[in-house]
Structure 1
Amino acid sequence: MDAQLSASPSGMLIEREHAVVFQTYRRIPLAIDRAEGTRIIDLDGRSYLDMLGGIAVNALGHSHPRIIAAVEQQIRRYMHVSNVFYQEPQVRLAEQLVAASGYPRVFFSNSGAEATEGALKMARRFGSAHAKYDVVGFSGGFHGRTYGALSVMDKALYKDGMGPFLPHTLVLPFNDVDALEARVDENTCAVMLEFLQGEGGIAEATPEFISALWSLKEKFGFLVIADEVQSGIGRTGDFFAFERYGVRPDIVTIAKAVGGGLPLGAILATNEAAALFERGMHGTTYGGNPVACAAGSVVLEEVTSGLTDHVREIGSYLTTQLRSLQGQFPELVRDVRGRGCMQGIVLSVESAPFIPKLLEHGVIANATAGNVIRFVPPFIITRNDVDELVEALRSVFNNTSLDTLQSSHG
C-alpha cells in the first residue's frame, strides 16, 4: 500500500482489516462509506459508478427507498423466529415467485451456494429412487464454494488441495455436444448448468447444446437443474436466462438479485421435484429470514412491474456502445457477450490489469475468466451511466500499450 493511501481513511481501514480478517478475498482497494442508486462513495469521499452491483446483487440499486421502508417495517415487527413457525413475509414472497416463475414450489435458503446444495440433495434423492447417481456439471460453471458445488465445477483455484469431492460427479466441456452425448447416460440422475455463465466469462449456452441436452433428458429421464443465481430475476431482460431456449428445467436455484442486498436464496421446483424432500429431510435456521423476504417482495414487485423492459432497453444500448469500442480497438476487444444487465467484453489479453485503471476513472467492474471484463450493474442504470462507463473504457484503452500487455502476459 502506498504512503498516500495508507494515511487516508480508506487506507487505515484496509490496514485494520489486514490485521484481523482471513486474507481470502482479492478486494478492490476501496473502503466504503455509503452507496445510493448506481453510485458508491468511499471513506475518502470519492464517488464511483458501480457496474458490479455487489456482484449481481443490488438489482434496484443501493439504498432503494422502498427496500429501506420494507426492511424498517419488518424489523420493528420481528427479525427472526425460525422456520418452526408460519411467517407472512415468507409466504408473500413465495407467492410472488410462483406467479413470476411458473414454478409451484419454493424453498428458501440464505445464499446461492445453499440453494445449490439443496438442489444436489434433491438430485441424489431422485437418483436413489432410480438407481442412478451421476451428477454432471460443466467447465466454466460456478455454483458456490461448498463441497457439492465444487464437485460439479472445474476451477482449479477453488478446488486445489480441497479433495476428495463428492463421488459420482463429473464436469464436461461447456457447449460440447459430442462430450455431452458421450458421457451422459442411463446412470445420470441430474445435470446442473448456468444457461448464461457469470464467472465463466458471460458465456452463453448454444441452442444446439441445449437441444442435445433435452434430447438426452427425454431419453434417460434425469433432472435438469438451472443455476439462475446470477442471471435470474430479470437480469438478462427475461425473468430467467433459460426462457429464450423454450425449455423448462425441473429445478431452479436463485439468489443475489432476489434479496435486494440482503442474504437470500431459494430453490424453485416442479411439484414432482419438490416432493423429493419429505418433512425433516432438509432445513435451515435462517433461510427465508423475514427481513430479507420483505426486501425480496419489493424486488419482485419492481421487476414484475415493467423493470425488465428497461433492462432490455438499457442492455441493448450497453451492447451497442460496447461494440463501438470493439470497432475502435479491434486488436484489444475481441467480443462483446451477454444481454440485459449481464454483459462482458472479451479482450485479447488478461483483463485483471484493467480493473484498477477503470477504478482510477471512477468505475467499478471486475475481471473474470482470464480475459473478460464483467458488468452486472443495478437494473436501474441509465444511458448516462453507460456513457460514463464507455468513456472510461475508451480512455483506459487509449492509454494501453497492447505490446506491453502481451509481453507481460507471455
Structure 2
Amino acid sequence: MKDSLIEREHEVMFQNYRRLPIEIERAIGAEIFDTSGKRYLDFLSGIAVNALGHSHPRIIKAIQQQAGQYLHVSNFFYQEPQIRLSELIKEKSGMDRVYFSNSGAESFEGAIKLARLWGNEHGKHHMIAFEGGFHGRTYGALSLMNKPLYKDGMGPFLPNMSVIPFNDVEALTQSVNQDTCAVALEFLQGEGGITHAEPAFITALMNLKEQFNFLLIADEVQSGVGRTGSLFFFDKYLIKPDIIVMAKGIGGGLPLGAIVTTNDLAKLVDKGRHGTTYGGNSLACAAGIVVMEELYAGVMANAREMGCYLKDTLHAVKDEFPDLVKEIRGCGCMQGAVLSFESAILVEELLKNGIIANSTAVKVLRVLPPLTLSKTDVDEFGSGLRQSLQTLMAGGVSKG
C-alpha cells in the first residue's frame, strides 16, 4: 500500500479536484495542521462552509448530544433540530417556509422545480441567470451557467434557459418578457470574481419584475449566513426575493442546504412531490442551530468589523504593490483581490508561507476566512500576502 494520503488518493479516487498538496491532520478555529505538524492559516473556510471556524466547541457539543439521541430517522418523522432551525431561519429571514436539502446545488435544483411549478400555473416557462454565476454542477444548475469547463460534453441542457451578461441592464431588458418564469442570481458572485450586482441593475430588475410578474431567486449559498456582515448579501439592496437558496455556512461544517420561500410558493409542493432522504439530517441541523444563534450573538457583527479591517489591509497591500494588485472587491468575510497575473500562482506562494486562500476567475484571489477571525489573523494574512507578492515580484512575475 502507498504511504502518503496523496499517493493513496491517486490510486482510488476520481481525479476531478485540484487539491492543494496538504494532508490534513486536524483543524481548530482559523488554523489547519497537516500530518507533519505544519500550521496553516485558513482563509478559505472549506469554501465558505466553516462560518464559525473549525472545531467550534458549541458545534462539537451539539453534534455529540444529538448523536447520543439519534443520527437519522428520515423525513417520515417530526424532529426537534429541523423544526427549531426552521423557526430561526424563518424569524431572521422574514420568509415563511423552509425546505432542507444537503447542498447548495441540490437546493438550487429544488428552486428550479418550484419556479417551474409556479410558472406552469401562470403560463410562464423561461428562466434567466447570469454570466459568471455559479449555482452547482447538477444538470438543472448547469443549464443556467455559462462556464465551458463545467458544461462541455454534458449537453443537451434544459430548454427555456438563458444566461445573459451580468450587470447589463440592456441585455436584461431585452431578455425579460411575459414568458419569463424566474430570474436567478448571486447578488455577490463568488466564482465570478467577487463581483457584486450594481444598484442600478437591481433597480431595473425589480422594475421588470413588477412589470412582467416573475419570480426572483436569490442564490445566497456562498454569500449568505452572515458572510458579508448581514444574513444575506441581498439585504444591502433592501429588496425581498421570492426564493432564497442557502447552504455552505448554515451547516457549520456539515452538509446542509435550504430553500426558503413564501407560504404561497410552498403550497405548490404537495406531499411526496419533492423530497430527499438525508435533507435536514439531525446532526447538521443541530450544528445549524448553533450557527444561527452565534451569528446573532456577535459573530455577524465581528464579520462586519473584521471585514472592514481586512479590506483596509488588502487596500494597503494594493497600494504597496500597484503593478500586481489592481482592485479590491467584496465585503465582510468574502473579499477578492484582482491581480495582474494568474491568481493560482499567488495561491501556491501563499501556501508556502502557511496561508490558505483560493484562486477564482483566473486573476482574482478569493479570501473567505471564518466569520470568527481576529485582528491577529488578518495581520498574519496581510504579512503572508506581502511576503508572497514580494517573492513573486522578485522572481519576475508578469505585471499584465
Instruction: Flag whether TM exceeds 0.5 (same fold).
Output: yes
The question of 1:291 aligning with 2:291 is answered no
**Structure 1 CA distance, aligned partners of 2:79 and 2:66?**
11
- Aligned match of 2:101: 109
**Structure 2 CA distance, aligned partners of 1:101 and 1:43?**
41
SS at match of 1:77: coil
1:100–1:304 CA contact under 8 A, matched in 2:
no
- Aligned match of 1:234: 226
**Structure 1 CA distance, aligned partners of 2:369 and 2:223?**
12
Q: CA deviation at 1:176?
A: 0.5
- Aligned match of 2:189: 197
Equivalent of 2:168 in 165, 176, 179: 176
Q: CA deviation at 1:404?
A: 4.3
Q: CA deviation at 1:406?
A: 2.9
- Aligned match of 1:85: 77
Of the structure 1 ranges 388-397 and 218-227, higher mean CA displacement relative to structure 2 is found in: 388-397
TM-score by length of 2: 0.98
**Structure 1 CA distance, aligned partners of 2:270 and 2:238?**
30
1:332–1:402 CA contact under 8 A, matched in 2:
no
Q: What does 1:140-179 align with in structure 2 at a 5 Å threshold?
A: 140-179=132-171
**Structure 2 CA distance, aligned partners of 1:82 and 1:251?**
25
Q: CA deviation at 1:306?
A: 2.1
**Structure 1 CA distance, aligned partners of 2:30 and 2:392?**
27
SS at match of 1:127: helix
SS at match of 1:186: coil
TM-score by length of 1: 0.96
Residue 271 of structure 1 aligns to which amino acid in structure 2? N
Residue 376 of structure 1 aligns to which amino acid in structure 2? L
1:195–1:242 CA contact under 8 A, matched in 2:
yes
- Aligned match of 2:119: 127
**Structure 2 CA distance, aligned partners of 1:18 and 1:403?**
32
SS at match of 1:331: coil
Q: CA deviation at 1:350?
A: 1.0
- Alpha-carbon displacement from aligned partner over 1:329-377 (angstroms, at most 9, x marks no partner): 1111110000000001000111111111000000000100110000111
Residue 284 of structure 1 aligns to which amino acid in structure 2? T
The question of 1:371 aligning with 2:356 is answered no
Residue 56 of structure 1 aligns to which amino acid in structure 2? A
The question of 1:62 aligning with 2:54 is answered yes
- Aligned match of 2:353: 361
The question of 1:392 aligning with 2:384 is answered yes
**Structure 1 CA distance, aligned partners of 2:250 and 2:7?**
33
1:52–1:377 CA contact under 8 A, matched in 2:
yes
Residue 125 of structure 1 aligns to which amino acid in structure 2? L
How many residues of Structure 1 are paired with residues of Structure 2 in the alignment?
399
**Structure 2 CA distance, aligned partners of 1:273 and 1:111?**
21
SS at match of 1:400: helix
**Structure 1 CA distance, aligned partners of 2:154 and 2:394?**
37
**Structure 2 CA distance, aligned partners of 1:167 and 1:335?**
37
**Structure 2 CA distance, aligned partners of 1:235 and 1:56?**
8
**Structure 1 CA distance, aligned partners of 2:378 and 2:114?**
41
- Aligned match of 2:66: 74
The question of 1:28 aligning with 2:20 is answered yes
Q: CA deviation at 1:401?
A: 3.4
Q: CA deviation at 1:402?
A: 8.3
Q: Which runs of 5+ in 2 are unaligned?
A: none
SS at match of 1:334: strand
- Alpha-carbon displacement from aligned partner over 1:232-286 (angstroms, at most 9, x marks no partner): 1110001100001011000000000000000000000011221221211100000
- Aligned match of 1:322: 314
Residue 151 of structure 2 aligns to which amino acid in structure 1? K
**Structure 2 CA distance, aligned partners of 1:387 and 1:115?**
36
Equivalent of 1:137 in 126, 129, 140: 129
- Aligned match of 1:3: none
Q: What does 1:254-269 align with in structure 2 at a 5 Å threshold?
A: 254-269=246-261
The question of 1:49 aligning with 2:41 is answered yes
How many percent identity over aligned positions? 58
Poorly superposed stretches of 4+, deviation over 2 Å = 401-407
The question of 1:280 aligning with 2:280 is answered no
**Structure 2 CA distance, aligned partners of 1:403 and 1:22?**
35
Of the structure 1 ranges 222-231 and 396-405, higher mean CA displacement relative to structure 2 is found in: 396-405
SS at match of 2:98: strand
Residue 138 of structure 1 aligns to which amino acid in structure 2? F
Q: CA deviation at 1:298?
A: 0.5
- Aligned match of 1:309: 301
**Structure 2 CA distance, aligned partners of 1:81 and 1:307?**
32
1:358–1:392 CA contact under 8 A, matched in 2:
yes
- Aligned match of 2:11: 19
The question of 1:188 aligning with 2:213 is answered no
**Structure 2 CA distance, aligned partners of 1:212 and 1:53?**
34
**Structure 2 CA distance, aligned partners of 1:289 and 1:399?**
46
- Aligned match of 1:345: 337
